Amino acid sequence: MLIELIVSFFLLVGASFALVGSIGLARLPDFFTRLHGPTKATTLGIGGVLIASVIYFSARSAGLSLHEALIALFLFMTAPISAMLLAKAAIHRKVTTRSRVPPRFER
Amino acid sequence: MILSLSIYAALAMLAVAILLNLWRLAIGPDDTDRVLALDTLFINTIALLVVLGIHFDTTVYFESALVLALIGFIGTAAFCKYQLRGDLIE
């Protein structure tokens, strides 16, 4: 029962952070702010969901279940790299920033 | 009981997140927006697979989640390299 509560807590935290990151991706005004949203929030979301999975499968079977830690390790290593590469590509493509203009959804 | 309820809530939130990513993928004004949306879509799909693994009480989904993580990173890195250098393998 306590295990279920802990797993539920981490699942909800992870999924809500993933949702917040995707809302940021959809709503923020220009590319560089949109880059900020998902790269922070979804790695935290993945972290929460994977912690929930580790706890659930470790309580389910004998011994520690650490398959998911592999995914978390890989994602935590590659998420900053891909964000930096995307920012460099956007600078190279001369993507404009609209930081002083209200959100583009008003037009 | 609590666990299945929160699994359904997490699945609903991840589904909404994936729909938002697909919307950004469709309307993204620049190519980099679309690639960022694809990257986020991969990450949300990994989270969805892990939650489905808890729901069905199986460990089959770990490998596919790992492969998705690899493919998502390689795709993003390949696009950025192509944009920056004009070529993938020089």
Q: Which residue has the higher pLDDT, A16 or A107?
A: A16
Q: What is the mean pLDDT of chain B?
A: 90
Count of domains observed in chain A: 1
- Using a CB-CB cut-off of 8 Å, the residues of chain A touching B49 are none
Residue A97, pLDDT score: 66
Most distant pair of Cα atoms in chain B: their distance: 56
Report residue B60 as tokens. Answer: 């089959």
- List the domain range (segments joined by +) for residue A95: 2-105
Q: What is the pTM of this model?
A: 0.87
Please name the residue of chain B whose CA is at the shortest distance from the CA of residue A6: B3
Residue A94, pLDDT score: 73
Give the CATH architecture of domain B2-85: Orthogonal Bundle (1.10)
Cβ-contact A19, B12 below 8 angstroms: no
Cβ-contact A42, A22 below 8 angstroms: yes
Distances in whole angstroms, Cα of residue B36 to Cα of each of A15, A38, A48, B50, B66: 19, 9, 21, 22, 19
| pLDDT at residue B72 tops 70 | yes
| pLDDT at residue B48 tops 90 | yes
- Using a CB-CB cut-off of 8 Å, the residues of chain B touching A67 are 59, 62
Domain boundaries, chain B: 2-85
* pLDDT digit string, tens, across residues B2-43: 888 999 999 999 999 999 999 999 987 888 899 999 999 999
* pLDDT digit string, tens, across residues A62-83: 778 788 888 888 888 898 899 8
Question: pLDDT confidence of A105, banded at 50, 70, 90?
Answer: very low
Please name the residue of chain A whose CA is at the shortest distance from the CA of residue B53: A53
**CA proximity to B68, closest of B31, B41, B88:** B41
DSSP label at A37? H
The interface residues of chain A toward chain B in range 12-71, judged by CB-CB distance below 8 A, are: 12, 14-16, 18-19, 21-23, 25-26, 31, 34-35, 38, 42-43, 45-46, 49-50, 52-53, 56-57, 60, 65, 67-68, 70-71
- Using a CB-CB cut-off of 8 Å, the residues of chain A touching B79 are 89
DSSP label at A93? T
- CB count in 10 Å sphere of residue A42: 31
Residue A25 and residue B13: Cβ atoms within 8 Å? Answer: no
What is the 3-state secondary structure of B8-77? Answer: HHHHHHHHHHHHHHHHHHHHCCCHHHHHHHHHHHHHHHHHHHHHHHHHHCCCCHHHHHHHHHHHHHHHHH
